[in-house]
Structure 1
Amino acid sequence: MAGWMEVVTTAFLLQLLALPGEKGQFVIAGLSTRYNPYWVVAGAATAFGGWTVVEILLGEALKNALPEAYLDAITAGLFVAFAGLILYSLHRGNDGADTTNRGRPRSNGGDAEGHDGAEAPDDEGVFEQAGGYLTAFSVMGVAEFGDKTQLVTISLAVQYGAHPGIWVGEMLAIIPVSLLTALVFHRGSRRFDSGWFHYAAVVVFLLFAADIVSGYVFGFSVLPI
Structure 2
Amino acid sequence: MHPFLTSTALVALAEIGDKTQLLSLLLAARYRAPIPIVLGILVATLANHGIAAGVGDMLARVLEPSILNWAVVLSFVAMGLWILVPDKLDEEDLSKRSARGIFLTTALSFFLAEMGDKTQVATIALAARFSAWIPVVAGTTLGMLLANVPVVLFGHRFADRLPSRWIHAVAAVMFIVLGALALRTALLTR
Q: TM-score, normalised by structure 2?
A: 0.58
1:44-73 per-residue CA deviation (whole Å, 9 max, x = no partner) reads 1110111111111123989xxxxxxxxxxx
Match of 1:44 in 2: 41
1:141-200 per-residue CA deviation (whole Å, 9 max, x = no partner) reads 1111111111110111111124311112122222132110001146x5xxxxxxxxxxxx
2:41 touches 2:106 (CA, 8 Å); kept in 1? yes
| Matched residue type, 1:31 | L
Q: Kindly tell me the number of residue pairs found equivalent between the two proteins.
A: 126
1:16 touches 1:173 (CA, 8 Å); kept in 2? yes
1:142-221 to 2 correspondence within 5 Å?
Answer: 142-185=112-155, 188=157
Q: TM-score, normalised by structure 1?
A: 0.50
Match of 1:53 in 2: 50
Q: Which runs of 5+ in 2 are unaligned?
A: 60-89, 158-190
With over 3 angstroms needed to count, the CA separation of the structure-2 counterparts of 1:61 and 1:169, relative to structure 1, is closer
2:3 touches 2:132 (CA, 8 Å); kept in 1? no
Give, in angstroms, the shift of residue 81 of structure 1.
6.6
1:76-155 to 2 correspondence within 5 Å?
Answer: 80=92, 82=94, 85=96, 131-155=101-125
Give, in angstroms, the shift of residue 80 of structure 1.
2.8
For 1:138 and 1:39, locate their aligned partners in 2 and report how far apart those are by CA, in whole Å. 12
Q: Which has the larger helix fraction?
A: 2
With over 3 angstroms needed to count, the CA separation of the structure-2 counterparts of 1:81 and 1:175, relative to structure 1, is closer
Q: Which runs of 5+ in 1 are unaligned?
A: 63-77, 87-126, 189-225
For 1:164 and 1:39, locate their aligned partners in 2 and report how far apart those are by CA, in whole Å. 24
For 1:81 and 1:7, locate their aligned partners in 2 and report how far apart those are by CA, in whole Å. 33
Q: Which aligned segments of 4 or more residues in structure 1 are displaced greater than 2 angstroms?
A: 59-62, 78-83
| Matched residue type, 2:12 | L
For 1:6 and 1:37, locate their aligned partners in 2 and report how far apart those are by CA, in whole Å. 31
Percent of aligned positions that are identical: 29
| 1:14 partnered with 2:10 | yes
With over 3 angstroms needed to count, the CA separation of the structure-2 counterparts of 1:60 and 1:148, relative to structure 1, is farther
For 1:32 and 1:18, locate their aligned partners in 2 and report how far apart those are by CA, in whole Å. 20
Larger-gyration structure (1/2): 1
TM-align CA RMSD: 2.8
